[in-house]
Amino acid sequence: MKKQPDQTPECGLGRALAVIKGKWKPSLIWELHQRPIRFGELKRRLPGITEKVLFEQLRQLEVDGIVHREVYDELPARVEYSLTTFGAGLNAAVHELAEWGKRLPSPTSAVAERPPLPEGVIRVSRGVRLHDSTS
């Protein structure tokens, strides 16, 4: 895992984000937040995920105490995943953030390009314009 920046020791945000870091983890937590689901059904519910990644992310959530893994010794094999009480707390803690996210326009930045500046004009973000000495 990539080293995270030092943070104020009393702030748990870094650790919380580390736990949900993973492309499918938020969806997994959401899927499990009401009832246990088996491996195969999770796979069907998350179209596009591969078995490898599904297993990896479930395993990480399990290690972090978010998810419980129950093995039933049957044939064919059957394994059910569920949220722990601790994990349910995470699901709740995330709610406010999700609400905030609704105010966002769908396509978020990340790789957006800065538009080319018109000649002779320096643009400032809130719309202020400073004309340079040549104008």
Give the interface segment with DNA, choosing from 28-36, 42-50, 84-92, 95-103 (CB under 7 A). 42-50
106 contacts its own copies (rule: CB under 8 A): yes
- Give the one residue of 35, 74, 96, 134 binding its own copies; rule: CB under 8 A: 96
The rounded distance, in Å, linking the Cα atoms of 72 and 38 is 11
The rounded distance, in Å, linking the Cα atoms of 4 and 29 is 23
Cis peptide before 76 (omega within 30 of 0): yes
Comparing CA positions, the residue from 82, 55, 56, 57 lying closest to residue 68 is 82
Give the interface segment with DNA, choosing from 7-15, 48-56, 86-94, 119-127 (CB under 7 A). 48-56
Binding site for DNA (CB under 7 A): 1-3, 21-24, 38-41, 48-53, 55-58, 69, 76-79, 110-111, 114
